[in-house]
Structure 1
Amino acid sequence: MPKMLYGLQLPWVTPSLRCFLPPIAGSILQFAYSSSASSYSYRRRYTLNLVIAVGMESKKELINKAKSHVSSRLCRVSGSMTEVMEIQAETPKIHVLFIPGNPGVVSFYNDFLESLHQFLDGNSSITAVGQISHTSKDWESGKLFSLQEQIDHKVEFVRQELENVKVPIILVGHSIGSYISLEILRKCPEKVVYCIGLYPFLTLNQQSTKQSLIGKLASSSLLSATASFLIASLGLLPMWAARRLVSNSLGASWSDTAVQATCTHLRQYHTMRNVLYMAMTEFRELAAEPDWEFMRENQSKLAFLFGIDDHWGPLQLFEEISKQAPGTSLSIEREGHTHGFCCTVAGSVWVAQHVATLIKNRFKQLQQM
């Protein structure tokens, strides 16, 4: 009998392939066949280098405020078509550049970006730049892009698009976007004053079964192509059916923008191939330990937010950073959100307020210097 995926008959899914379909890096897209192994859990108490008391506004109060909405555009960077989302302030005091994880679809972060702009009192311009070929259209004709190529692309974006920005630039990265942000800081130290990593993926977690499975899937061209084809086959569904399918499969907690981003971008063969190819190169690059010397040299410019049970940014990494670069601002989110915080309104709002508090505190420090 053919296997069933979301109620569809998919005869290509064999038992051996099934185990290679766990959540992709960043845990944005939940596959039907996921690994039964759970991430290593941590229950110890941790001492934070910096404790930030944030008085959360109610969701109702947030909604009642006037909110600026993101706008979307396309631009070419290093010859590659790039999806950009942004909110421009009239008289910005700072400019936030956001780097997504993998999948690097910026529209997943719509609620987060709008909430962040609001919590920064409208005084910040915000730009989010997507990963190359994690797009709704195959602008690059099937070409695959490595982690290093994505890093080079973001550095060039800063030099091309933010060259004339006169206010301080603050980097905010999610998951592998945290690693990319560190590389931007390394190559553009004169323009970047602060770097915030959210649920950071900075090095491989050897204890994670999920990462091991994803690594095997991503390293096999055959398995990657097969998995991408299976997911792209859902593109045959009309949009209304795809939205219902995603909503029913991933839970009612997912926001409308996250469901829409899944349907418009992740059902594309070229996007999934690039997601997996980038993941393969991530695993190769991040097999080494983080550059502790660089992080110590820049520890006053760094802040990281970790989750309680996140195999991409495990708490042993939190502990290691606190030892290797003790001047880094470290926090742990204990509100029950996940690595894929951007897929829910509640997660987006909470993380946005946390980031806004970090930025405001840093901006006060810069004014006093």
Structure 2
Amino acid sequence: RIQHGESGAPRAVPPEGAGHGQGLHGLELRHGVARDKIQGAVPVASRSGRPWQSRGIVGFYKDFVEALYENLGGQASVTAIGHISHGQKDYEHGRLFSLHEQIEHKIDFLEQELLHTEQSIIVVGHSIGAYIGLEICKRFQKKVKIFLGLYPFLTLNKNAMKQSAIGYVARSSLLSKGVSLLASFIGSLQASVTRSIVKRFLGSSWSATAIDAGCSHLLQYHTMRNVLFMAKTEFQKLNEEPDWNFIRAKQAQIAFLFGVDDHWGPLTHLEEISKHAPRVALSIEKEGHTHGYCCTEAGSFWVADYAANLIKNQMLVGDS
């Protein structure tokens, strides 16, 4: 749990029952409760005066979440909820978690957090996190004030070769194990060698924070197995149409940010949303950032600024 220090800056306070911690720039990221990956973190903001809390591995989103908190003027608590068994340590002893189980994990966490408060919340989801965020909104309809989906992955793009390739690997237990073994082997090398490989083949433009998160958390056998297993169940579920009835019913509270060239959330999906729910706030990012915006400082800061401005504007409209 992150609280204010005497200077007003965030400081880390160990949460009860947390696992091992890792300090990053004065913040303590806890591994024992929830974990995340490059795609799909679900930041939740409430209108209180506390800074952001971290539950799990939020290394990929650290710059974004800190910038979002600052851009909201320190007037909101921002909690980044990651995915089970996507962290450095295998606390779940090899268990694989489906998309449905990951959604229930977020809902269970929020039920505990919101049990004794009347506070409204704002849900922000990236990639598959946008799909998860909409499911959260369904469960907490009286609590959620605004939902924002960033570069959303809401349904399959059957024209995307990358998605087809990922789906092929994810559906094969043998290939998934092979990819996971390769990832864990790279992660087991000397730290400087691992960093060099990650920077060369995955993140030539990544921030140092993202490279650190990739080396220490993504390149673990159990993490990669869970990434691919979750992807398999995502592709099964997202073969369906989005829940247009719900999106239409809540369209005044929903916003999406799309990228210009993003196969996870192509502009054809933006057009579909506009057709089914014309009051949804739709934006297109044209600054040259990517689906993995959170892996660069420039992307993190730009998207955080966009999100904060949208939230503040929506709150003004809602209060008027």
Bin for the TM-score computed over the shorter chain? 0.7 to 0.9
**Which residue pairs with 2:149 in the alignment?**
197
Partner of 1:124: 76
- Which residue identity does 2:114 align to in structure 1? L
2:48 equivalent in structure 1: 92
Per-residue deviation, 1:95:
9.0
CA pair 283-147 structure 1, distance change in 2 beyond 3 A: same
Q: Point out the more displaced range, 325-334 or 155-164.
A: 155-164
Instruction: Please say if 1:300 is aligned against 2:256.
Output: no
TM-score of the aligned structures, taking structure 2 as reference length: 0.85
RCO comparison, higher one (Cα < 8 Å, 6+): 1
Structure 2 residue 133 is matched with structure 1 residue 181:
yes
The alignment-based identity, stated in percent, is 52
Q: Which one of the candidate residues 89, 108, 126 is aligned to 2:60?
A: 108
2:246 aligned with 1:290: no
Residue 67 (structure 1) shift: 6.3
8 Å contact 1:93–1:167 — kept in the other structure? Answer: no
Structure 1 pair 366–71 and aligned structure 2 pair: CA distance change class (3 A): farther
* TM-score, structure 1 normalization: 0.74
Partner AA of 2:142 in structure 1: E
Deviation at 1:252, TM superposition (A): 4.3
Shift of 1:238: 2.3
Q: Give 1:163 shift.
A: 2.5
**Alignment match, 2:209:** 257
1:241 positional shift: 2.6
1:237 CA displacement: 1.0
Gaps of 5+ in 2: 1-7, 19-31
Equivalent residue in structure 1 for 2:198, among 233, 246, 253: 246
Aligned length: 296
Worse overlay, 276-285 or 240-249: 240-249
Q: Deviations over 1:199-252 (max 9, x none)?
A: 000000011111111111100001101111111111221223322332233354
2:170 equivalent to 1:218: yes
Quote how far apart the aligned CAs of 1:318 are: 0.2
Residues of 2 paired with 1:316 and 1:97: CA distance?
A: 35
CA distance in 2, matches of 1:174, 1:87: 9
Deviation at 1:109, TM superposition (A): 0.2
Q: Which has the larger radius of gyration?
A: 1
Tell me by how many angstroms 1:367 deviates. Answer: 1.8
Is 1:353 the equivalent of 2:305?
A: yes
Decide whether the 8 Å contact of 2:51 with 2:69 is kept in 1: no
The amino acid across from 1:198 in the alignment is L
Counterpart mapping for 1:145-164 below 5 A: 145-164=97-116
Tell me the equivalent position of 1:60.
none
Shift of 1:295: 0.5
Q: What's the C-alpha RMSD, in Å, of the aligned pairs?
A: 2.9
Structure 1 unaligned residues grouped into runs of 5+: 1-65
Q: Is 1:134–2:86 an aligned residue pair?
A: yes
Distance 1:119 1:203 in 2: 31
Amino acid at match of 1:269: Y
Distance 1:238 1:219 in 2: 31
**Amino acid in the other structure paired with 2:239:** A
Indicate the residue corresponding to 2:29 in structure 1.
none
Deviation at 1:174, TM superposition (A): 0.3
Mapped to 1, the partners of 2:63 and 2:12 lie a distance apart of 9
Q: 2:188 aligns with which of 228, 236, 241?
A: 236
